[in-house]
Structure 1
Amino acid sequence: MQQRRTLPRPGATPASAATIYETIRTDIVRMRLRPGERLSENELGIRFRTSRTPVREAIVRLVDDGLIEVWPQRGTFVSRISLKAIKRARFVRSALELGIIREAAERGLPETAFMEAERAIAEQREAGNDPNRFTDADDKFHRTFANAIGYGDIWSIVESQKTQFDRIRFLSLPDVTPVDFLIVQHRAILDAVRAGDAEAAEKTLRAHLSIVVETTIALMRTNPDLINDDVDEN
């Protein structure tokens, strides 16, 4: 079910460009604003109780993120999901996170980190087919390992690269990508780290991260209006 977009409370002060940017970005990532949907500066100004200037500033940032396209004489639209950006994000995430999980397994983690990861898995089970709750718990699980070995700042690089990645997650959950399968993989990763088996942890994580590209290609065949096959573009 599509969720209602966040609206300002009556009498609220006008939103800043940063707030508008974060709100629209979240709406796009979480598929409340769908690829191809048209955006009106006037309607956004009314929604955020502000002038068009901060709205335009937010739109410029979203264009830079690849989430919005502005076409002269046609209007402003939510961009289709980019297969090229998905593959780039998977590459960046794999390069960083595989190193993190290997070091976590080799060094060992404090029990508090294992407890945090266990809580994240429990939250995923509780979330079930709710993509918002499941994705939050999913991110918490992966972030736990980076934080536990003192590389939380590296995780912020992953976060900055995975916007299109996240759009696919919200588009695919739970119908295309069963949450139970993801939880099984998370459990295997955690067990391997606890056992100090770096090879098994890395192998399982590699397979886990490959799912997003496979899912994107499958969805692209059935939803060409939502996903852009731009891999071969210069």
Structure 2
Amino acid sequence: MKIDHNSAWELDPSASITPQITRILRKRIIQNDLKAGDRLSESELARSYDVSRQPVREAFIKLADQGLLEIRPQRGTIVSRIGYYAVLDARFLREAIEADIAKILAARPDPALISDLRSQLDRQQALDRRECGAFIQLDELFHRTLAEGAGKAGTWKQIEGLKSQMDRVRYLSLAEFRIDNLIVQHRALVDRIAAGDVPGANSAIRFHLREVLRDLPQIVDANREYFDLPDGDMPPPVNAPIQGGENA
């Protein structure tokens, strides 16, 4: 197992240890710093962070519940493969939730929120196109801001817990990341919200969140060792038409 001493992975001794270790390991798995099949050692991590094994063990259990680790009694703990159906299910649930968020916002456009979102779009546009990881962070901020603007901050926390496998796919696809496409989609969504166009906002967010479906077959083909595929093969990612009569 790699023990990374990057300052971003360091612990704050004044804060609770288990949530910090959980957050650090979760982030490293999502960013593929810890890869599918990597073996994690409870004792090595505890020694590295100068903590007892208990908080590490608790972090392992939480991450196993999220589908990111496999705890194998007497055999050790390994980073799970990305569940193909877990990606599709998480994306489906996220679309359902964020479509309602977009409709709430478009029903009562908030000028201050629109201004904040447009400022974020400017920051996204200004990024060097090679800074894909930085764009993902700005993308997270954008979607979290939408949820908070709709009074659904708690719902966004639920989404964050659901979309771990989706996020692993996004980091795997950095080489093919089409930032310009995503910014155009973000801008279209903000324009529909600002115009008070509820059906348009609904269609815009659904189209945007189906981007991963368009890319998924190529990402899987290029990284098959990372994925847990049903029966070793990849069925097509099927979705119903976007509400309002527009197809995906």
Alpha-carbon shift at residue 154 of structure 1 (Å): 2.2
State the one-letter code of the partner of 1:170. Answer: Y
Cα distance, 1:52–1:64 mapped onto 2, change above 3 Å = same
Alpha-carbon shift at residue 153 of structure 1 (Å): 2.2
Is contact 1:86-1:213 (8 Å) kept?
no
Using the alignment, how far apart are the partners of 1:112 and 1:135 within structure 2?
23
Encode CA deviations 1:145-182: one digit per residue, 9 max, x unaligned: 22223222222222221111111111112x22311111
Cα distance, 1:32–1:194 mapped onto 2, change above 3 Å = same
Structure 1 counterpart of 2:224: 224
* TM-score, structure 2 as length reference: 0.82
Alpha-carbon shift at residue 199 of structure 1 (Å): 2.1
State the one-letter code of the partner of 2:186. Answer: H
The within-5 A match list for 1:1-234 is 5=6, 6-8=8-10, 16-109=17-110, 111-128=111-128, 129-173=130-174, 175-230=175-230
Please identify, of 216-225 and 177-186, the stretch whose mean Cα deviation from structure 2 is larger.
216-225
Q: Could you say what secondary structure the match of 1:225 adopts?
A: helix
Alpha-carbon shift at residue 133 of structure 1 (Å): 2.0
Is contact 1:113-1:148 (8 Å) kept?
yes
Using the alignment, how far apart are the partners of 2:231 and 2:147 within structure 1?
30
Encode CA deviations 1:6-51: one digit per residue, 9 max, x unaligned: 4548x96897222211111111112211111111222211221112
Encode CA deviations 1:72-94: one digit per residue, 9 max, x unaligned: 44421111111111111111111
Cα distance, 1:54–1:148 mapped onto 2, change above 3 Å = closer
State the one-letter code of the partner of 2:190. Answer: L
Alpha-carbon shift at residue 134 of structure 1 (Å): 1.2
Encode CA deviations 1:86-112: one digit per residue, 9 max, x unaligned: 111111111111011122112222x21
Is contact 2:132-2:177 (8 Å) kept?
no
State the one-letter code of the partner of 1:207. Answer: F
Using the alignment, how far apart are the partners of 1:231 and 1:146 within structure 2?
37
Figure out how many residues of one structure are paired with residues of the other and give that number.
Answer: 227
Alpha-carbon shift at residue 132 of structure 1 (Å): 3.2
Is contact 2:66-2:161 (8 Å) kept?
no
State the one-letter code of the partner of 1:185. Answer: Q
In structure 1, list runs of 5 or more residues that go unmatched.
Answer: none
Q: Could you say what secondary structure the match of 2:176 adopts?
A: coil
Using the alignment, how far apart are the partners of 1:221 and 1:229 within structure 2?
11
